A and B are shown apart, each in its own frame.
Chain A
C-alpha cells in the first residue's frame, strides 16, 4: 500500500524499567513523571502455552494475567522515553526478559525497612549488565540510611549511583531518572556535562 510522502515520522522510543519489591513505589514513580496517566498493559501467563500455537482446549484456569504499568515522557517530536514498571513478582521472568530487551537502563527502588526485597532486581540487572541506579525511597517512619550504607548492604559496585528520593514528588522522580541517564552516559566513557 502506498504511504505517499506525508507519512508521520516515527519517534525514537527509549525504554527505562522501574523495578523493586512490592509496595516500594514503582507505580507511584511511573505516575509522577509520566505526561499521561499511568497506562496498564497485561500479558498472559499460560503455563501450558509455552511451545504451543493454540490455546483452545487449554483450560482457562491455566492462564493468569500479569500487569505492567507504563508511562511516557515526550522529550521532543522525535524522542520519547517510556517507563515500564516491572511486575513485582520476580517469577514472571518471561515478562521481565521482554521488558529488559533493548532497555536503556533501570531504576531499582529500595525501601530501607525491607532492603532485601530489591535483591532479586539488583541481581537481575547486574547479571544482564543492564545499567541501573538505586533509588532509596523515603518512607515515613523509616530510618534514614546514608547512600553508602545502602550501597554496602546491597553489595553494589562502587560506580552504581544510589539516590535518595520521594517518588511521590515529580522533581524527585525526575532527579532519579536524570541520575540513571547520566550513569548510562558515564558507563560509555562520555559523561554528560552537568549544566
Chain B
C-alpha cells in the first residue's frame, strides 16, 4: 500500500474533505452504538431539571456534563456536536447514556417536520423574505 508524507497508508478515499486520521471514539470507550435512542441530527435534546445534581449523574464523564449544560435549553443533536467539537456518532453514544439514565428528554423530529403543511411552508417563505 502506498504511503503519504506522514508515513500512514494512503487511501483513495482520503482527500480534502477528509479530516486528519483520528481516533475519536476514545471518549465512548470504543462504543459506536448508543444504548438507546435514534438521535436524528435534528432531534432536540433537553436536560432534565437538576440533571447535573441527580444521583445518576455521579458517574458522568466531562463530555456528558458538557451536553447537559448545553441542553438547558432545547438544542439539536447537530448543534451539540458542533458546540462540543465531537463527531456526531460520539455524541449519539453519549446521548444514549444520558437518555438511559433519565437525565435528558429526547424529541425526535415530528412527522410535521418531514411533511410540513401549507401554512408552515407559507410561514417559511414569509420569514425568508423578511430576513
- Measured CB to CB, the residues of A under 8 A from B are 1-4, 7-15, 22, 33, 39-46, 49, 52-57, 60-61, 63-67, 70, 72-73, 75-76, 79, 81-82, 84, 87-89, 91-92, 98-99, 101-102, 104, 170, 174, 177-178, 181-182, 184-185, 188, 190, 192, 195
Contact = CB atoms under 8 A, between A and B. Distances in A.
B61 interface: no
B78 A66 contact: no
A78 B18 CA distance: 35
Contacts of A41: 41, 78, 81-82, 87-88
B37 interface: no
B65 interface: no
B78 A64 contact: no
Given A70-B82, A101-B40, 20 more contacts: A1-B54, A3-B46, A4-B49, A8-B73, A14-B116, A22-B17, A41-B87, A43-B87, A44-B87, A61-B8, A63-B22, A65-B19, A70-B78, A82-B42, A84-B78, A102-B40, A104-B116, A178-B125, A188-B118, A192-B125
B76 A53 contact: no
- Taking residues whose C-beta sits less than 8 angstroms from the other chain, chain B's interface range is 35 or more
A44 B89 contact: yes
